[in-house]
Amino acid sequence: MWVFGYGSLIWKVDFPYERRVIGYIKGYVRRFWQASIDHRGVPGKPGRVVTLIPSNDPEDKVWGVAYELPEDQVDQIKGRLDEREKRYQTNLNVPFYPKQISSNKSSVLVHVYVAPTFGPLFLGETDAVAMAEQIKSARGPSGDNLDYLAKLFEFMRDEVGSDAEEDTHLTMLFRLCFP
């Protein structure tokens, strides 16, 4: 089993894995449209974290990291991830395309956690400046919301490279928060 991380699962990996592979999934966009009241914000002052939104363009890419789980620990790790990602109630299985193809396979199926687009924690689209202000001022048990944004941007810049510019939403928010 493979799990795809496109937010904090990129840098906060608290489970064993066999392989870590950088790559992307298609047909989605990453957006800071999910409220965080238990990690990067608190009730009454939520932070903003990323979720996936289906794209109108099936070729749109979301870059991240796929982790191959040890076969004998899949159930245990998946149980821990289900608890960690409990606010991300939708689970998808989609093709993942590695940045560097190391075998004759061009893709592998990955398990992805996605927040539902209904309910009180889905914030949706709003003014970019307002989103940036919310990110700059939020803090929760896992730290500053600004740190979450910076780590995601640094991953894209340092590990994805020139394709990082495809994530215009992330880049725009980073530039608003770090002028």
Burial of 57 (0-12, 13-18, 19+ CB in 10 A): exposed
What is the distance in angstroms between the CA of the first residue and the CA of the last residue of the chain?
40
Q: How many CB atoms lie within 10 A of CB 109?
A: 13
Beta bridge partners of 139: 144
Residue 58: what are its φ and ψ, rounded to 5°? -65, -10
CB-based contacts of 154, cutoff 8 Å, min separation 6: none
Query: What are φ and ψ of residue 113, in 5° steps?
Result: -95, 130
Q: Which residues are catalytic?
A: 85
